[in-house]
């Protein structure tokens, strides 16, 4: 399998990236307009979240036609253009394959509803009485995971929204259909794929109630998932393409198989354990506010980094995506240390072992928007949970406070390009409100500032290209018991790096061994040099220091 260790991937949420035709919705020509910016940033691939024909119940993750572009995003010609223009700049396109489910508006589902047996077998339909769902499983967006179709006398499974029906991967015809989709985009010149919730595709043989949880233990990393993935990759000939699977509630053991060098499944995996340290106790705690547990974060990073290294498997490195709140608002500091904390978090994740992902706006330290009314939210999960929270007895204010920290819309606000009205994203009112801080936080401003977060990201990308130790070095963690600091070394032959990060808004200290006395500082987020006595390293609030030893 090909090596993606010195690549950097940039994620675009097209709806919120750049509107080219003044309808308030970002689009494909908008992405083309910004390719020079992305080339200048230095990224190798763009992962675009789905822009296929869709009723947009879940912002495009409810696909109604895998081979056509939703008119709101542009035309096939625009897409061909994007691929070609990307190629000119050495930027490959990665498309998002939502293969666990389709929209209920997909032709297959409509034909299933119309009674065609062939297409009923594309989905997971179960006979049953209208008051007795086949199992007690819960949808990830709230409510039952089953929906009754009275005209058929059957239930169908939807792990997500009721308009997202799960596909039946046991049916070889379904697998063939999906392979055809890959072949179609491959022929267009697409260079990689992201597979949505792909570890949920293999459902259990026996359908039983879950008395402890929402049912996920029965279908997560299911019985044939590895076989299905191998088959899909082999039969479409994408072994050497960049492929990443989104792995929901997975385990290290499975991820070693999904992305292991010998397995020929995927190039790398997204896992989310490090993004649950502020909802300890499982996913339902997403909807309770609590402080992040940084000790737990350290334990998780160490476990996954070391485990994947031992297993000769490969991590996707990320803090942000279109489902997560902004990292600077979450683990950093939006106030006094906004800039320092954004840079520290960037360095911490980019210098680990794996391929880094940057989510649009992260490179300028975009924050959560702090919406104050439910009308400002568009996301189906947020709207559902708002109702659920009210039903559980929370006040409106409490529910809104929770959404302001947890909602997926936190990352879906328009990309802040300039300090003009609608932040240079559009010249009309965007589909979702712009964050109030766009005059302070925008690309234009940071391009003029050599000390900006944007410049820091550029530097990180450049360093990965220059220094093999970042791309391919071994990782080892230090200061494991130290709650304020996350530190690690990277090592490749004689090249060695030491990365020290302070999580806190106060000073932290760590041991500074003799060995690093001769280390050269190659990166940091404070201008003046630190006064250290070479026994103890004192890190200022949210400081990151990267030292290098050995050959250039």
Q: Which residues form the catalytic set?
A: 196, 246
- Distance CA(333)–CA(318), nearest Å, equals 18
- Find tokens 């179609």 and name the residue: 184
| CB nearer ligand GLC, residue 43 or residue 197 | 197
- Find tokens 């050497």 and name the residue: 240
In whole angstroms, how close is the CB of 20 to Ca ion at the nearest point?
6
Name the CA radius of gyration of the chain, rounded: 23
Using CB under 5 A, list all residues that contact Ca ion. Answer: 19, 21, 23, 25, 27
Q: Mapped to the 3 state alphabet, what secondary structure does 456-515 carry?
A: HHHHHHHHHHHCHHHHHCEEEEECCCCCCEEEEEEEECCEEEEEEEECCCCCEEEECCHH
In whole angstroms, how close is the CB of 61 to ligand GLC at the nearest point?
3
In whole angstroms, how close is the CB of 112 to ligand GLC at the nearest point?
19
| CB nearer ligand GLC, residue 160 or residue 314 | 160
Residue 543's binding partner out of ligand GLC, Ca ion, none, with CB under 5 to 8 Å set by partner kind: none
Q: Are 26 and 15 in contact (CB under 8 A)?
A: yes
Write out the two tokens for 295: 């000790």
Residue 166 binds ligand GLC (CB under 6 A)? no
Number of residues lying near ligand GLC (CB under 6 A): 9
Query: Binder to ligand GLC among 44, 70, 196, 479 (CB under 6 A)?
Result: 196
Residue 160 binds ligand GLC (CB under 6 A)? yes
Query: Binder to ligand GLC among 27, 323, 334, 479 (CB under 6 A)?
Result: 323
- For 301-304, the CB contacts below 8 A with 24+ separation are 301/274, 301/352, 301/477, 301/486, 302/477, 302/480, 303/252, 304/252, 304/255, 304/271, 304/273, 304/274
> Cα dist. 241→80, 192, 263, 312, 485 in Å?
19, 5, 15, 18, 36
Interface with ligand GLC in residues 83-112 (CB under 6 A):
98
Residue 25's binding partner out of ligand GLC, Ca ion, none, with CB under 5 to 8 Å set by partner kind: Ca ion
| CB nearer Ca ion, residue 51 or residue 61 | 51
In whole angstroms, how close is the CB of 174 to ligand GLC at the nearest point?
17
Residue 27's binding partner out of Ca ion, ligand GLC, none, with CB under 5 to 8 Å set by partner kind: Ca ion
Residue 78's binding partner out of Ca ion, ligand GLC, none, with CB under 5 to 8 Å set by partner kind: none
Residue 43's binding partner out of ligand GLC, Ca ion, none, with CB under 5 to 8 Å set by partner kind: none
Residue 197 binds ligand GLC (CB under 6 A)? yes
Interface with ligand GLC in residues 208-247 (CB under 6 A):
246
Query: Binder to ligand GLC among 27, 58, 362, 409 (CB under 6 A)?
Result: 58
Strands 316-317 and 355-359: parallel
- Distance CA(450)–CA(443), nearest Å, equals 12
Q: Are 544 and 526 in contact (CB under 8 A)?
A: no
Look up residue 534 and give its DSSP letter.
S
Residue 21's binding partner out of Ca ion, ligand GLC, none, with CB under 5 to 8 Å set by partner kind: Ca ion
- Distance CA(216)–CA(317), nearest Å, equals 24
| CB nearer ligand GLC, residue 197 or residue 402 | 197
Residues in touch with ligand GLC (CB under 6 A): 58, 61, 98, 160, 196-197, 246, 322-323
């Amino acid at each position: 399998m090909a090596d993606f260790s010195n690549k950097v991937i940039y994620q675009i949420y097209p709806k919120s990236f750049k509107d080219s035709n003044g309808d308030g919705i970002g689009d494909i020509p908008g992405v083309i307009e910004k390719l020079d910016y992305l080339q200048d940033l230095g990224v190798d691939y763009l992962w675009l979240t789905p822009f296929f024909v869709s009723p947009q119940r879940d912002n495009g993750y409810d696909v109604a036609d895998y081979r056509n572009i939703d008119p709101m995003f542009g035309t096939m010609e625009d897409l061909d253009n994007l691929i070609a223009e990307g190629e000119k700049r050495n930027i490959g396109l990665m498309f998002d394959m939502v293969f666990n489910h389709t929209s209920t508006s997909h032709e297959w589902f409509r034909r299933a509803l119309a009674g065609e047996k062939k297409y009923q077998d594309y989905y997971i339909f179960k006979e049953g009485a209208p008051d007795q769902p086949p199992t007690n499983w819960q949808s990830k967006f709230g409510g039952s995971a089953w929906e009754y179709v009275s005209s058929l006398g059957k239930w169908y499974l939807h792990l997500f929204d009721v308009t997202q029906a799960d596909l039946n991967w046991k049916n070889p015809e379904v697998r063939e259909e999906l392979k055809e989709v890959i072949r179609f985009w491959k022929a267009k010149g697409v260079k990689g794929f992201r597979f949505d919730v792909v570890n949920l595709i293999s459902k259990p043989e026996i359908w039983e109630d879950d008395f402890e949880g929402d049912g996920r233990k029965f279908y997560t990393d299911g019985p044939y998932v590895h076989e299905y993935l191998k088959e899909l990759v082999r039969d479409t000939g994408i072994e050497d393409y960049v492929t990443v699977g989104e792995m929901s509630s997975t385990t290290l053991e499975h991820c070693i198989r999904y992305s292991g060098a010998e397995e020929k499944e995927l190039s790398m995996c997204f896992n989310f354990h490090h993004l649950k340290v502020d909802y300890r106790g499982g996913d339902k705690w997403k909807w309770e506010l609590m402080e992040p547990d940084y000790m737990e974060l350290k334990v998780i990073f160490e476990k996954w980094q070391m485990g994947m290294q031992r297993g000769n498997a490969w991590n996707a490195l990320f803090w942000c995506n279109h489902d997560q709140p902004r990292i600077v608002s979450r683990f950093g500091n939006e106030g006094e240390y906004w800039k320092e904390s954004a840079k520290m978090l960037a360095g911490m994740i980019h210098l680990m072992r794996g391929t880094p992902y940057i989510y649009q706006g992260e490179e300028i330290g975009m924050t959560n928007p702090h919406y104050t009314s439910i009308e400002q939210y568009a996301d189906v999960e947020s709207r559902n949970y708002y109702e659920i929270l009210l039903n559980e007895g929370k006040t409106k204010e409490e529910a809104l406070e929770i959404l302001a920290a947890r909602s997926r819309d936190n990352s879906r606000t328009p990309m802040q390009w300039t300090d003009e009205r609608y932040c240079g994203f559009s010249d009309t009112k965007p589909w979702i409100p712009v964050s109030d801080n766009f005059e302070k936080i925008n690309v234009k401003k940071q391009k003029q500032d050599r000390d900006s977060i944007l410049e820091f990201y550029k530097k990180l990308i450049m360093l990965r290209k220059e220094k093999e130790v970042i791309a391919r070095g071994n990782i080892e963690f230090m200061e494991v018991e130290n709650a304020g600091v996350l530190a690690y070394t990277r090592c490749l032959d004689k090249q060695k790096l030491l990365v020290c990060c302070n999580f806190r808004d106060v000073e932290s200290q760590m041991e500074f061994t003799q060995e690093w006395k001769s280390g050269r500082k190659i990166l940091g987020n404070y201008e003046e040099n630190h006064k250290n006595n070479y026994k103890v390293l004192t890190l200022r609030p949210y400081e990151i220091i990267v030292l290098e030893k050995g050959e250039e």
